[in-house]
Structure 1
């Protein structure tokens, strides 16, 4: 383990620090994060509950289709009873109606807010612990603003969250934004440079979709529903967290298949380490019954833990965003040695991606800035307007045959 960490630190210092500065050195030895792979709190009591005269679907085993059938079989009163008793279970159950999940997660967030408010002023805690609690209080108060639609909320660890922009149940086009490192409950949104955060990215994508096609019903999900790496250490250099995240992303998509009914499969927009998550999850993504494939767009990618686009499977069409000159991710070596690194560059000519332009973008988080070719391309792909996509090099090759 010591050798592995030394190798990781050396890898980061030689490649990434050249583009990000010495301040990143401390991040290179960040602690590894604990994954969240079990159902949320309340699941054991839920499974033991037979008050409805029937078994409740096991959150650890039930498919999204089974969950959807179960919730559809309940009366409104029965649904409300379960929301009140098990808000974290209902709020995170892929296959449950979106409106019910929003309601349940609001209840769970209020409960968590009360706990964190106590912790924020508890003299028995360290000042650092009180500061963490205060930050969570501020985030929860914001997420509880009326009208916000929280599809995922799990307070364990650093906290998981996902938010929906638009009407998920009526949208003709659905997009899912999968963010990269350093995203969690208290780093889900921010007023300082909002496009650095998952919420800001999701909002920017939906705004562009609406501008491009005002008459099309769209919804975007900013999905911080997995444990992300912190800094540039062991977790960022390996696929361990992506492997834990992939089943959660697959479950989300399965849930959308039975609760949302867009005209084509949801599009995935995978930023930075999020592209590793998408790469690991891709082989489980199947073509829809109508033959439709999932558009997967990677931006600021360090690699996808696959050798080429073909390894993603027939259910995915891969788009890679041309890396802008100011994106430090270009300093990362595109290779994999002993489980370190994420393999080939998705924008390289031999990878097999449809490479799209990013003119006007700057920096690692600049691909969704207003006026950039990348943001417009993202909207066109999400809306299936492939003829309007601008290819890298402006040669039209990336949309040939589509």
Structure 2
């Protein structure tokens, strides 16, 4: 890191470490206002700022109000998060800073500031996890695995190519790529490759999608000719995977409350060669326009709004922007959306409820409450559904992915089937 990059990283950290807005939005806005920064500069700056977020607990234990001392926070991020030796920071640190960094490096593996510091998790979250029955050792494992940057997972569009051929082509280009262990569509890249200009991305053969997210589409198991609803479609990553599964046969409704997210789906559909997806903005889960599908949908995916705590590898600032209050509101919203989706499910149809959270109140407790309130539904075993597709993953009745064990984002899913009318 050169002094100019360091100066930008400090200026950006002063803003990002207040956690007043999403970190990726703050970073994007900063780069838009500093257009002369090249790609390499932006990469160095962003990686350092995100390292400061990932290791904020340790930095905050050593520096009071890190956003008010951003130069020190950036130096700490370079040492704690990016593996720099103090000697490599000769052109960035004076004698006082070097002494600070040496002390920080010496104590970084022996923090006595509590579980939250060791696990790189805020106090509210360690308290919440303990209250949910997590052992301290599990909290530590989760926090440390979530503090590592994620690899880049890709989904091969089966309408356009086979995974083995795409994998061979990427490896031939010199990329460190491998077939991921669970999804038959997933390729994992361990390089920091810029793929948005790659021919296979531009022609719709490849999409960026975490392997765990791909498994949700596989759990749904949509077949050709069916009516499918993606109830909280967002920008449509899972919608596109479902579309490929149905080979453009049938009808897929992509509902979301955000017009902007759905607008992002439309060019992706075209690129992927999909014509059976129908994006539609709804006002809420109670929008009267969805009533036309009541009792008609063969498959419904509810990838519900959630805390996102399973995605901390990619969105580390979420743990500082969520709270017990925001989670309580999300739990209420999830319950309402799931109940609305149930009304659309046809007899014999499958409903999959999913989150990218690790909290039981958003996950298994929601599933148990749903079954208690909807006697016309019965649970399906996620391990059996995946085994039927030759996917060697058994986390029990529910799909429960965690970063440390599965190297995916932390996803949860429960599958239900509506009983046939008697």
TM-score after normalising by structure 2: 0.29
Structure (1 or 2) with the greater helix fraction: 2
Please tell me whether Structure 1 or Structure 2 has the larger radius of gyration of its CA atoms: 2
- Structure showing greater relative contact order (alpha-carbon pairs closer than 8 Å, 6 or more residues apart): 1
